[in-house]
Amino acid sequence: MSDHKYRLLYMLKPVPDGITKTGIEELNKVRPNEQWGACDALVLMSLLYPEDGSLSMMVVPLDGRPEAAANELRLEDHELFKVWTLLAHRLMDSETLGDGPKGLCRAVHETMVESFRAFHSRGGLPS
């Protein structure tokens, strides 16, 4: 893939002391060619579409919260699990997915809701 031409570049910048919404707006005014956004945590899914028609994906789960420093800024699996559940919820009503994938997403979401209710009735969710 050395000759592959990538169409997107990405860069993340940790801000250990944090930044406010006003700070982001000011940064975007000063550097208009770099439109920054901000969040507390991020799940980056980097997709590559090689010329052979395959798909390659790298998932980078980053946690910027202060307590995450001991975890080397990586989201823990239970946080990824929450993201996965929310993604299934979003995709179950997709206007572009076929009925099969939407049905799978709906089944995942409904199973998770039932499981959460059962865990909650027994005193809370497992970690």
Question: What crossing angle do the helices spanning 77-91 and 99-121 adopt, rounded to 10°?
Answer: 130
Question: Is the per-residue pLDDT at 76 higher than 60?
Answer: yes
9-57 tens-digit pLDDT: 888 888 888 999 999 999 999 998 888 999 999 999 999 998 888 999 9
The burial class, CB within 10 Å (0-12 / 13-18 / 19+), for 75 is buried
* Rounded Cα gap, residues 2 and 119, in angstroms: 49
* pLDDT confidence bin for 124, thresholds 50/70/90: low
* Residue 12 neighbours by CB under 8 Å, 6+ apart: 42, 44, 62
pTM of the model: 0.69
Confidence of residue 70 (pLDDT cuts 50, 70, 90): low
- Which residue(s) pair with 43 in the sheet? 61
